[in-house]
């Protein structure tokens, strides 16, 4: 099953695109690297080279050496960016304070985001990171790459930027960490014309959507997270590049309630794949688990001897709704009572699988603590069938945006607006009735804002009429 990209994708071939020759790429020896010292004294950074976990300092140093040995005209920004960054990091450790100024407004023409301005506040000491802007580069859905693509990005970035990246930023973009203002447009042009790809988003916009690995490799994915992510990212390019919202807005796509991309915790519109029919049970495999022939939970607990697998204790007894049991040696699930928490499926993946009538649950309003407090996304639409091009999803998203743009205060996240205006109002906006599944429990304060049209006789009353019954 192949997918249709929106534009024909020209194949990127590194050897046709490259900037650096093989000699330039391998321009230092292991010996030289061992003896290499950057131009600043960085004892605390050096200490971070020790220990088993990959050392970002060791990695930075080899890039520093690589740049040292490249020809003068083989990079368009300062050679010493990496060394100066490490030098400034060391000073930051000494001072216990960062040395980056507030970002300025830099970007590429016509886009309101995608570039984060950054300036050092120690410019005399570390002149090559005087400007050190970041570019967000939209990653391919679920972060699969090939080496032609990655190598081309590397050459572009080492030539026109610092050679330092984040794979990836928290939202999901590839981060190009540090370049000068005059290279922003040239890099943008290279990304677009040569690599046929775009920047990601930043600011009060739709941020770059991201998704879990989904159907590419996960047996539990109920929705095609990649296709949804790709389609919505392309469809909403305008919202992504031209900030027009009260604040940031994030889509994140999880294939199942395990929530590996944490959409329920950090996205304004959280898509969580689910099913509405029955969990598929392979009774033979259930017996194999009981008999100890298959390790439970795909072997995730193999590091410790937890004893013989006990289906009663480990699966049936842990079911949060108690909807499972053994009957006549067979595992039975009362699916109407199942809340699809994924525990039994996670524990016996060869025996249990999600249903086949799949769709997505939509939850809204998650956010980090700033400003009014942390929020998880609230379950709003329990189930929607999703099929390319996802028109029903787009309708919902646009209703949400219309309301939020109209009513939201500056820098008010959707979740905060929902809190301020109430879920009943949110339901009205979406054109959906309320359901008990939206709440953990009904309200315990009885302060209901009854509407006048719902109260017999309305609110108009005359005091004279009242007085005919009640003396002063």
Partner 1 sequence: MALSQERLGLYNPDKPMENRLTDLGPRHFWQYLPPVIQNNYGKWLYHDILEPGILVHVSETGDKVFTVRCGGCRFMTVEHVREICEIADKHCDGYVRFTTRNNIEFMTDSQNKMEALKKDLMSRKHVSGSYKLPIGGTGAGITNIVHTQGYLHCHTPATDASSMVKAVMDELFDEFQGMNLPAQVRVSMACCLNMCGAVHCSDIALLGYHRKPPIVDHEVLDSVCEIPLVISACPTAAISPTKTEDGKKSVKIKEERCMFCGNCYTMCMAVPLMDKEGDCVTIMAGGKVSNRISPPKFSKVVVPGVPNTFPRFPEVCRDVKKIINAYASDANKYERVGDWAERIGWEKFFEKCDLPFTEHLIDDYRLAYDTYRTSTQFKFTEAAWDVSRAAGGIE
| Interface with partner 1 in residues 392-411 (CB under 8 A) | 411
Question: Pick from 37, 39, 41, 50: which binds partner 1 (CB under 8 A)?
Answer: 50
d(CA 237, CA 199): 10
Asked if residue 106 binds partner 1 (CB under 8 A), the reply is: no
In degrees, rounded to 5, the angle at the alpha carbon of residue 15 between the alpha carbons of residues 10 and 18 is 95
User: Hey, which residues does 375 pair with through a beta bridge?
Assistant: 367
Report the run of H or E that residue 176 belongs to, with start and end: strand 174-179
Asked if residue 318 binds partner 1 (CB under 8 A), the reply is: yes
Shortest distance (Å) from residue 321 CB to partner 1:
10
d(CA 65, CA 428): 61
Which span (39-47, 323-331, 387-395, 445-453) binds partner 1, by CB under 8 A? Answer: 39-47
Shortest distance (Å) from residue 434 CB to partner 1:
20
Question: Pick from 97, 284, 441, 453: which binds partner 1 (CB under 8 A)?
Answer: 97
Which span (371-379, 391-399, 446-454, 459-467) binds partner 1, by CB under 8 A? Answer: 371-379
| Interface with partner 1 in residues 263-282 (CB under 8 A) | 264-266
Pairing of strands 269-275, 358-364: antiparallel
Dihedral of alpha carbons 354, 358, 362, 366, sign: positive
Judged by beta carbon, residue 111 or residue 271, the one nearer partner 1 is 111
Judged by beta carbon, residue 29 or residue 392, the one nearer partner 1 is 29
d(CA 331, CA 312): 10
Asked if residue 331 binds partner 1 (CB under 8 A), the reply is: no
DSSP for residue 249:
B
Judged by beta carbon, residue 337 or residue 458, the one nearer partner 1 is 337
| Interface with partner 1 in residues 197-226 (CB under 8 A) | 197-198, 208, 210, 212-213, 215-219, 221, 224, 226
Shortest distance (Å) from residue 336 CB to partner 1:
18
Asked if residue 16 binds partner 1 (CB under 8 A), the reply is: yes
| Interface with partner 1 in residues 133-172 (CB under 8 A) | 134, 138-160, 163-168, 170, 172
Q: Are 159 and 176 in contact (CB under 8 A)?
A: no
Pairing of strands 324-327, 330-333: antiparallel
Phi/psi for 281 (5° steps) reads -120, 130
User: Hey, which residues does 177 pair with through a beta bridge?
Assistant: 134
Report the run of H or E that residue 210 belongs to, with start and end: strand 210-211
Question: Pick from 135, 206, 228, 261: which binds partner 1 (CB under 8 A)?
Answer: 261
d(CA 232, CA 221): 18
Shortest distance (Å) from residue 452 CB to partner 1:
31
d(CA 164, CA 86): 12
Judged by beta carbon, residue 443 or residue 472, the one nearer partner 1 is 443
Shortest distance (Å) from residue 359 CB to partner 1:
15
């Amino acid at each position: 099953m192949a997918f249709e990209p929106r534009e024909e994708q020209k194949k990127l071939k590194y050897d046709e695109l490259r900037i650096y020759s093989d000699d330039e790429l391998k321009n230092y020896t292991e010996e030289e690297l061992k003896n290499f010292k950057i131009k600043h004294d960085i004892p605390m950074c050096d200490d971070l080279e020790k220990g088993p976990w990959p050392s970002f300092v060791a990695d930075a140093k080899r890039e520093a050496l690589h740049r040292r040995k490249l020809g003068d005209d083989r990079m368009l920004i300062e050679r010493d960016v990496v060394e100066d960054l490490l030098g400034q990091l060391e000073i930051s450790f000494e001072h216990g304070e960062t040395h980056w100024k507030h970002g300025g407004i830099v970007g590429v023409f016509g886009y309101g985001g995608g570039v984060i301005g950054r300036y050092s506040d120690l410019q005399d000491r570390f002149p090559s990171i005087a400007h050190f802007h970041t570019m967000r580069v939209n990653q391919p859905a679920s972060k699969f790459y090939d080496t032609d693509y990655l190598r081309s990005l590397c050459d572009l970035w080492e030539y026109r930027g610092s050679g330092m990246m984040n794979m990836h930023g928290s939202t999901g973009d590839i981060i190009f960490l540090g370049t000068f203002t005059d290279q922003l447009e040239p890099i943008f042009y290279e990304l677009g014309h040569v690599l046929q790809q775009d920047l990601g988003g930043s600011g009060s916009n739709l941020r770059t959507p991201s998704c879990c690995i989904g159907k590419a490799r996960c047996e539990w994915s109920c929705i095609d997270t990649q296709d949804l992510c790709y389609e919505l990212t392309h469809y909403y390019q305008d919202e992504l590049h031209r900030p027009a919202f009260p604040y940031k807005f994030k889509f994140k796509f999880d294939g199942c309630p395990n929530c590996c991309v944490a959409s329920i915790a950090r996205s304004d519109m959280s898509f969580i794949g689910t099913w509405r029919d029955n969990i598929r049970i392979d009774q033979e495999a259930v017996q194999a688990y009981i008999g100890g022939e298959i390790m439970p939970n795909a072997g995730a607990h193999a590091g410790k001897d937890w004893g013989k697998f006990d289906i009663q204790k480990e699966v049936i007894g842990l079911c949060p709704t108690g909807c499972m049991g053994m009957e006549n040696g067979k595992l039975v699930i009362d699916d109407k009572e199942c809340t699809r928490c994924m525990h039994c499926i996670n524990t016996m993946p060869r025996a249990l699988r999600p249903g086949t009538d799949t769709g997505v649950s939509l939850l809204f309003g998650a956010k980090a603590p700033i400003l009014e407090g942390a929020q998880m996304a609230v379950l709003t639409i329990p189930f929607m069938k999703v099929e390319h091009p996802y028109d029903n999803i787009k309708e919902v998203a646009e209703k949400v945006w219309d309301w939020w743009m109209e009513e939201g205060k500056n820098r008010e996240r959707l979740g905060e607006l929902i809190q301020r205006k109430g879920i009943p109002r949110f339901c009205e906006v979406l054109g959906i009735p309320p359901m008990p599944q939206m709440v953990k429990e009904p309200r315990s304060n009885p302060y209901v804002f009854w509407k006048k049209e719902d109260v017999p006789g309305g609110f108009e009353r005359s005091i004279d009429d009242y007085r005919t019954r009640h003396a002063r």
